[in-house]
Structure 1
Amino acid sequence: MSLQRLAALRALMASQPTALAAYIVPTADAHNSEYIAPVDARREWLSGFTGSAGTAVVTPSHALLWTDGRYYTQFQKEADLALWTLMKQSLPETLSMEKWLVKNLVEGAVVGADPHTMTREEWTPLQTALSKANMQLVAVPTNLVDAARAQMGPAPPPRPRNPIIPLSVKYTGKTAGQKIEELRSKMAEKKAAALVITALDEIAYTLNLRGSDIEYNPVFFSYLVITATAADLFWGDGVLTEEVKGHLKWEGVELNGKPYEDIVGHLVAMARELAESGDCASSVWLSSDASEAIHRAAAGGDGVKTPLCLISEVSPVALAKLIKNDVELEGFRNCHVRDGIAVTRFFRWLHHQLDAGVAVTETQAADKLLEFRKNESDFMGPSFETIAGAGPNGAIIHYAPARDSSALIKRDEMFLLDSGGQYRDGTTDITRTRHMSGGATPAQKDAFTRVLKGQISVGSALFPQGVKGNVLDSFARKALWDVGLDYAHGTGHGVGHFLNVHEGPSGVSWRPYPHDPGLKPGQILSNEPGYYKVGEYGIRHEDLVEIVAVTKDSPHPRAATLLGDYDGRGVVGFHTLTVVPNQRASIDVALLDDFELAYINAYHKRVLETLGPILEARGLVEDRQWLETECEPISRG
């Protein structure tokens, strides 16, 4: 099918008013969402590659896909390698998409893309690079992959429009009215006549509403335009339920519902009206992550002599929701306890099943874990598709077991489980790796322990408030780097509050996050180093951590040794939220120093003291006993 789909796309490229020398197909929707709905899964339809990141480029004779190290193994399993070339963008010798196009296309070549699927930050540098080479980047008004899907059948599915769910201030800690007034104050400072919010999680956050239009992400397809006197939500057919209206009224918001498809026309009309004031007296503020199409519309489209001035920078909503308030933070702490109960019960169950000789597949394990999470209060669903990797599948970083070919989890292999939950009071994301008989090989124990050392190094680090997250990345890798090992993904990502499990603009990675404002108390990040031996096993340890202010008197393992506060900048560190034991049997104690050994024992003591009484109160005696064994202190004897 990939050959037929490429042929259909190439025919459409050739039929454009000016034939396209290349067509770009990002993994994207019109809102720059990381995870997308089936209606927007164009790159997947075209290439067969199902990973959540990657950009395809199709020319009359080539089909290439750029993706990062998380997906190399997956791409080679899923794509037709006779048709598609993998461009390993994590490797320094790999040409970027811009450089490849400039090198391989002839002067005068026209490159096409759907401007709704590329941000202004992506569009502008590509346009500049092509222009310098006497090439052209054009906005193709109709998405050519959608047209090819319609020709070949079946047509793309309709865009989801599931019910919108109000989220009480009991969980959010701040009303939507307060949030909008704070945004209007920021607009006044910027002298912006309007703020256009395009990211789905930012809209959900601002209005204290949630949805289910994208699987695992509690968001709904919409745009939000805020002015000094109005707030317009472009959603579905524009009709809001009485429940949503009542929620917004109580929270002090007067919201006008308008059809989703009207956003471009609304922005063009607004821009033309504002442009009449002239001299950039009125500007429109929008995120640089908004699509090129929205930027063009907000500037007035083709109908104004002088395009309206735009303020295009990191969204104020992204910066606001990055710092969780006290209610949100308390929710994160509480939901991690409930999630810890579910994950602990699952691992006890899985070991019991395998020890009894019962066959359990990866998908059966994921389903059982979901059962345990459903028993916990305020659980709303998984926060992403569970990665249940048995043996060699654990080395596929973003592996997802298929129901019709799910592998058996074997007692003599490593098993990597990366999963998370959406709760009304927070979002969880945890990875634990276990050898299912406890008999890991020396090499596996070595890797397991080095990854754990890296996680401890990050989790116990102290650093100046405001430092960028990428500064911490090497801490996680040092124990692996010492012996020539590494992993091909970042070390930490931000996490939303009952929102997207991956949340910007901060994170910890070998590549700097471009809009990272610096780490401050109240942020939630993951701490997840790993190691992957392709074809054999994968190891990853992941906790979520809360950034906290630290003084000499704080309950932080390194607080007592503080001599200063970085000349007044302030000391911050991490508090680990996740409460699930690591597998003691897979730790090589000889690799641990005294601090690391004490750290692990203190963590396991906290896990037992936190979860033990809850399990006991519920009468879950076997789960309580299993946890107690897993949390026994480790010694060098």
Structure 2
Amino acid sequence: MVLVVAFHFSSLIFVFHVFVVSAIGDRFADARLVKRSLNIHKDANMSSARLQALRAVMAAQPRPLAAYIVPTADAHNSEYICPTDARREWLSRFTGSAGVAVLTSSRALMWTDGRYYTQFEKEADMEAWNLMKQSLPETPTMEKWLTTNLTEGSIVGADPTTMRREEWTPLQTALSKANMELLAVKDNLVDVARVQLDDAPPPRPANPLIVLPVKYTGKKSGQKIAELREKMQEKKAAALIITALDEVAYTLNLRGSDIEYNPVFFSYLLIRPDSVILFWHQGALEAAVEAHLRDEGVKGVEVKRYGEVFGYLEGLAKELSETGDGKHSIWLSHDASEAIHTAAAGVATLKKPLNLISEISPVALAKQIKNEVELQGFRACHVRDGVAVIRFFRWLHEAVSRGRTVTEIQAADKLLEFRKDEEDFMGPSFETIAGAGANGAIIHYGPSRDGPQTEIRVEDMFLLDSGGQYRDGTTDITRTRHMSSCSAEQRETFTRVLKGQITLGAALFPRGVKGNVLDTLARHALWRRGLDYAHGTGHGVGHFLNVHEGPSGVSWRPYPHDPGLQPAAILSNEPGYYKVGEYGIRHEDLVEVVEVTKDSDHPMAKDLMGDFDGRGVLGFSTLTMVPHQTACVDVKLLDDFELSYLNAYHARVLETVGPVLRSRNLIQDLEWLQEECKPLTRA
């Protein structure tokens, strides 16, 4: 899946013993069949009514607001959000996963990056909205625009639960310097406007929890918590508050389905030296979940209502202030919301608020490095996922070549059918991007079930970006295939994107190097022809968790808290090229970061002369097991190493997936795979 570039306000710069396995698994697997119902109308009058309703609420505040900020965010800094939190989408009709709206009495502006320009112009009312193309150097940042266009004394409002402290503080500073104020508005004003329009947001989901035993996780939650407590002692922290949903799920070895495609549940987790407190739903766990936590060595878990977290943190701050030794504090992630930071510091209750330890979460650092059980799961689920995708492409080519009507939606649904045949499949890891022809050039395109359907035609280039959630891992793969024969231009761009993927996939680099250093490798072949792509090249991937996982990644823009690449991390490798209005190309594999020596099974190992002065050598091992369309490869553009690399990859795919297809008597699929994996030659 296309990398989500880190999007910060400051710069505007991403069972097993399941106790109800059937009900949860089926619901999770079928989630993508129902688009989010947000009552988003294409009618421009409705768009205008929503803007005017919010403006009226802004004007009616005790201190009227000159501007109101509506980010794409929930209270947990989640990349993907549930319908309850889709306020920016409700207001603008723009469905992209990244963007910040700013509303004034006369202007409506949307900052988003290059992945979404085309999509925004298609979805939003362009008479009412101004698109602020964040990737362009001439576009002012949000704070620059606010401080330039508002008058002195203006008050800018925002919901502090939807902004991180790292976003809030720089914006507050910039406004203050311009004699303006950033005001924390307790009630989200979009929600207030929705109620006034008789379109209240849907209830926050609290679906049943899924337990994930150690045979999938490789480490019990009791051990994870013990390790966190050791780090707390080192930091002299009296408590650790975990706010990111995937971090709570990882720590407790629980999963959920509160956000579509992301196996997480709305919660906060507080760890103290002698207690664990989970803030979830109505404050009670089912017996099976309690038994799971006991089996995992998590003793005496106290469960409180989800909404009690702010009051509890304020009370804890007061307790530490009155009874502590002054040397212990509360530890929380820098990605936690401004509201959580304010409560944990006791700003509203203490004359002298606590100093907080606000830095990268120790859980984020722990979960990006997979243990051996998790790695084995990743390798295994990619074989099963490869079977499903190979079956799909064989079916699609046959259907289109025979003149059958296949729409983008039908293609996505058929792929889901094939994935459902695979063991431990729990559902898609994101909404399938199935783009035929010009739709493939919309980087985060999602076919709609409403209105006319786009058919995949024999003359189309077809881009399919999809993934699966399995109990033992998460997949994310993009393959671009022409339904008949590429044009000369398509063949060249297809090959240049592939050259970039091979160059990055075969790279060797020092242990601890930041992913940003590697990004140019994937772009070089395109840059030689003046071509590029407007997204990053690689993102981290969670283990049966979020398909986009930090803190490391590969992008033209640095990941601000990248600790450097280490063995056992999982990343994507996904360069692309997009000709707007015509076609799009992306090649994506997931890769495992591995240590490399002269004796390693790595195509560059034999040429090693050193180990970066003792730092150690790292490389990538490709997990994805689906062939590329060699009919679209211009062999003349490949050097000898690239040709050998591609042929070796296809041989490995056939050697790995072929026996599985044969054992399941999927002979037609096997024959198709054998044809696709034939070695390329220069003849």
**Residue in 2 that maps onto 1:284:** 330
Q: Map 1:320-399 onto structure 2 (within 5 A).
A: 320-399=366-445
1:415 pairs with 2:470: no
Structure 1's unaligned 5+ residue stretches are none
Q: Which one has more relative contact order, counting CA pairs under 8 Å at least 6 apart?
A: 2
Secondary structure of the residue that 1:94 maps to in structure 2?
coil
**Residue in 2 that maps onto 1:443:** 489
2:143 maps to amino acid: E
TM superposition shift of 1:301? 3.1
For residues 130-187 of structure 1, give each alpha carbon's deviation from its aligned partner in whole angstroms, at most 9, with x where no partner exists. 1111110010011000000111022100000000010010000000000000000000
**Residue in 1 that maps onto 2:472:** 425
TM superposition shift of 1:16? 1.0
What TM-score, normalized by structure 2, do the two folds share? 0.93
For residues 240-287 of structure 1, give each alpha carbon's deviation from its aligned partner in whole angstroms, at most 9, with x where no partner exists. 001000000001002111100111010000110001146732200000
Q: Map 1:37-56 onto structure 2 (within 5 A).
A: 37-56=82-101
TM superposition shift of 1:406? 2.4
CA distance in 2, matches of 1:326, 1:436: 40
Determine which of 176, 196, 201 is the counterpart of 1:151: 196
1:91 pairs with 2:120: no
**Contact 1:454–1:476, Cα closer than 8 Å, also in 2:** yes
**Contact 1:275–1:282, Cα closer than 8 Å, also in 2:** no
CA distance in 1, matches of 2:324, 2:106: 48
Q: Map 1:89-488 onto structure 2 (within 5 A).
A: 89-254=134-299, 255-277=301-323, 280-404=326-450, 405-437=452-484, 439-488=485-534
2:395 maps to amino acid: W
Secondary structure of the residue that 2:648 maps to in structure 1?
helix
**Residue in 2 that maps onto 1:621:** 667
Secondary structure of the residue that 2:356 maps to in structure 1?
strand
CA distance in 2, matches of 1:90, 1:507: 18
CA distance in 2, matches of 1:543, 1:178: 32
For residues 22-78 of structure 1, give each alpha carbon's deviation from its aligned partner in whole angstroms, at most 9, with x where no partner exists. 100000000000000000000000001000100000011110000111101000000
2:171 maps to amino acid: L
2:347 maps to amino acid: G
Determine which of 72, 78, 99 is the counterpart of 2:123: 78
CA distance in 2, matches of 1:396, 1:103: 32
CA distance in 2, matches of 1:565, 1:103: 52
CA distance in 1, matches of 2:244, 2:314: 19
Query: What count of residue pairs does the alignment treat as equivalent?
Result: 636
TM superposition shift of 1:2? 1.1
Secondary structure of the residue that 2:169 maps to in structure 1?
helix
**Residue in 2 that maps onto 1:513:** 559
Q: Map 1:12-27 onto structure 2 (within 5 A).
A: 12-27=57-72
TM superposition shift of 1:402? 0.6
1:365 maps to amino acid: A
CA distance in 2, matches of 1:177, 1:278: 26
**Contact 1:33–1:200, Cα closer than 8 Å, also in 2:** yes
**Contact 1:282–1:309, Cα closer than 8 Å, also in 2:** no
**Contact 1:21–1:105, Cα closer than 8 Å, also in 2:** yes
1:587 pairs with 2:633: yes
Secondary structure of the residue that 1:572 maps to in structure 2?
strand
Secondary structure of the residue that 1:347 maps to in structure 2?
helix
For residues 295-353 of structure 1, give each alpha carbon's deviation from its aligned partner in whole angstroms, at most 9, with x where no partner exists. 00001131111101200000000000010000000000000000000000000000111
Secondary structure of the residue that 2:594 maps to in structure 1?
strand
Secondary structure of the residue that 1:516 maps to in structure 2?
coil
For residues 524-578 of structure 1, give each alpha carbon's deviation from its aligned partner in whole angstroms, at most 9, with x where no partner exists. 0000000000000000000000000000110100000000000000000000000
CA distance in 1, matches of 2:449, 2:339: 38
CA distance in 2, matches of 1:620, 1:476: 35
**Contact 1:427–1:497, Cα closer than 8 Å, also in 2:** yes
For residues 429-485 of structure 1, give each alpha carbon's deviation from its aligned partner in whole angstroms, at most 9, with x where no partner exists. 000000011x10000001000000000010000000000000000000000000000
Secondary structure of the residue that 2:330 maps to in structure 1?
strand
1:4 maps to amino acid: A
**Residue in 1 that maps onto 2:616:** 570
Identity %: 72
TM superposition shift of 1:403? 1.2
Secondary structure of the residue that 1:566 maps to in structure 2?
coil
CA distance in 1, matches of 2:659, 2:375: 23
CA distance in 2, matches of 1:14, 1:26: 20
The list of structure 1 runs, each at least 4 consecutive aligned residues, that deviate by more than 4 angstroms after superposition, is none
TM superposition shift of 1:290? 0.3
Secondary structure of the residue that 1:372 maps to in structure 2?
helix
**Residue in 2 that maps onto 1:32:** 77
Q: Aligned-pair RMSD on alpha carbons?
A: 0.7
CA distance in 2, matches of 1:114, 1:28: 10
Structure 2's unaligned 5+ residue stretches are 1-45
Secondary structure of the residue that 2:631 maps to in structure 1?
helix
1:9 pairs with 2:15: no
CA distance in 2, matches of 1:561, 1:103: 56
Secondary structure of the residue that 2:340 maps to in structure 1?
helix
1:557 pairs with 2:612: no
**Contact 1:362–1:389, Cα closer than 8 Å, also in 2:** yes
Secondary structure of the residue that 2:239 maps to in structure 1?
strand
Secondary structure of the residue that 1:234 maps to in structure 2?
strand
Secondary structure of the residue that 1:607 maps to in structure 2?
helix
CA distance in 1, matches of 2:382, 2:321: 50
TM superposition shift of 1:93? 1.2
For residues 338-393 of structure 1, give each alpha carbon's deviation from its aligned partner in whole angstroms, at most 9, with x where no partner exists. 00000000000001111111100000000000000000000000000000000000
**Residue in 1 that maps onto 2:10:** none
**Residue in 1 that maps onto 2:544:** 498
What TM-score, normalized by structure 1, do the two folds share? 0.99
Secondary structure of the residue that 2:611 maps to in structure 1?
coil
1:430 maps to amino acid: I
CA distance in 1, matches of 2:184, 2:324: 27
1:546 pairs with 2:592: yes
**Contact 1:218–1:499, Cα closer than 8 Å, also in 2:** yes
